[in-house]
A and B are shown apart, each in its own frame.
Chain A
Amino acid sequence: MHRFRFVLYRPVQLIPVLLGISLVTFVLVHLIPGDPARILLGVRGTKAAIAAIHHQFGLDRPLAVQYLYFLYNLSQGEFGRSIIYKVPVLTVVGGRIAPTAFLLAYAVLLSTVLSGLLASLAAANRGRTLDQAVRLFSTIGLGLPAFWLGIVLIMLFSIRLGWFPVSGYGEDFADHLWHLFLPALTLAAALSPVLTRNLRASLISESTADYVIAARAKGLPRQVIFFHHVFRNSLIPTVNLLGVNVGWLIGGTVVVESVFSVPGMGQLMVASIFARDYLVVQAVTLVLALGVVLTNFLVDIVTVALDPRIA
């Protein structure tokens, strides 16, 4: 499988990006005016604690050296201590990864199903009312704020109809599916318009491709031509688009988690900003950025798996 060779050296290409992310998060926290140690400890800093922070993060050294301290600490998994929760930041963040990851996966699943269905319907009925309707919905959908949609969904399905819970995460797997359905649907509905438009355009252009004519000349049934040939070829640009939108999607979970009070990293981020728990903010930024990079990497792998032309 020499096509997947790139799996080995893509991480190398990602290093500049990862360094860039770490640099930005480092710089941001250090832009806050005042003694960093005091900022990191909040109002309760004792002299000894401040001295300890100074030592750990090298706060009396030049900025460049501090950055190296920062990187070193990172590599040790040392993100510092949360002011609010009073436990290591890593512990706090670690406990929040699962809900966010679940929500993301759920949202991607729902949006691929939604987009796949809508795009196929539209492409199959090109020019007719169904197609126009799908296109109009896509255009309007682009302007739909996820947080508002989430609230509307809560109004309808949680409060009026009582089908889904208003907030939270749930206890076990089935519970998670139930609690996270509306949040995932909100994210999916916000992402679908972009994917649907792209997939629809791909389907239409691929269905008039030369190899489709050749397939018809072979007497293949229409469904076979659609599913074995047209659909697979159309997926590739859309999967690419999904990758491009991952950054947006991860940003979207921050908002959606707030709407539905899902105890994930997004909600942690917002709460920490208000609480001025800067180390947590820094850690979450780093983790989320890392998540984007990793997901893009995954999308690359999927694209190579789908397209044998990529070497």
Chain B
Amino acid sequence: MATAGIAASPRVGFETLPASALAGGAICLFWLAVALAAPWVAPYDPIAQDLNATLLPPFGAHLLGTDNFGRDILSRIIWGTRIDLQMGAFGVLFPFVIGTTIGAASGYAGGLVDTLLMRLLDVTMSFPFFVLIIAIVATLGPGLISFYIALAQFLVIKHADFVLAARSLGYSHARIALRHILPNAIMPAVVFSMSDAVIDILLGSSLSYLGLGIQPPTAEWGLMIAEGQGFIASAWWIAFFPGLAIVLLATGFSLLADGFAERFGIRD
């Protein structure tokens, strides 16, 4: 259970970010813009059905085609952006905040409390995460997956690295901590957040695909793929384009993470 090493100087200099970070940043900003501008950019209502226009192929009146209910795929993808972005952000922020708080508190308390917590960490870190998620869903019912993901991560205190970094904050005095340790600890945490966003987006869309997440008729990318699976022989576009969107969004975060890791010398 190792914390990331920092090879570069502790000062955060953004001037020299590598191309990957810039490309990733651009992609993420693009999706953010899409999500925010959805009401104005989407050509059709995502859940409006048009039974005269079912299973239309792409590059016609409907740029990415329609599904078996005549719903416009492009609009559904645009509106779905909000949900998947939310999955990424939520599933990352929650454990980050909780983990950092617990870690700092533990480091500050020190002694027995600290040791116990670290032992607890050892145990929970080996817990199979995905299985836990599914079990939670089984219990509490589908829907609200962002919350479930965050909850499961909290239970497993998945990002021990946040905790460990925060712990060092607890050990030292606030001033030293803020001036010196925080900048060093923040960067790996940021990189992990972005890698995590990818994992959470994939997780959330997987759950929706299985029918255990977002429920129809809401437009969510994973759900759309599930709905389209029955038509892959005849109307491949229904399942194909949402997947492309997932890949593009996730790649944006991955590139960002890679770029930051390269710039600030952080290794896995």
Contacts and interface: CB of A to CB of B under 8 A. Distances in A.
A contacts B: CB pair < 8 Å: yes
Interface of A: 16-17, 20-21, 24-25, 28-29, 31-32, 139-140, 142-149, 151-152, 154-155, 159, 198, 201, 246-248, 250-252, 254-255, 258-259, 269-270, 272-274, 278, 281-282, 285, 288-289, 292-293, 296
A16 B123 contact: yes
Contacts of B130: 247-248, 250-252, 254
B222 interface: yes
- Majority SS of interface residues in chain B? helix
Nearest to A143: B250
B127 A289 contact: yes
Chain B: interface size category: 35 or more
A12 B107 CA distance: 28
Nearest to B252: A143
Given A28-B138, A147-B222, A148-B246, A251 B128 contact: yes
Contacts of B211: 270, 274
Nearest to B244: A148
A198 B212 CA distance: 33
Nearest to A140: B251
A147 B204 CA distance: 12
B132 A139 contact: no
Interface stretch (B10-18, B92-100, B229-237): B229-237
18 contacts: A139-B20, A140-B254, A142-B254, A143-B201, A143-B247, A143-B250, A145-B205, A145-B250, A148-B225, A151-B243, A152-B240, A159-B233, A247-B130, A250-B128, A255-B206, A272-B138, A273-B137, A292-B128
Interface of B: 20, 123-124, 126-140, 155, 198, 201-202, 205-206, 209-212, 222, 225-226, 228-229, 232-233, 236, 239-240, 242-243, 246-251, 253-255, 258, 267-268
A285 B135 contact: yes
A17 B250 contact: no
A140 B247 contact: yes
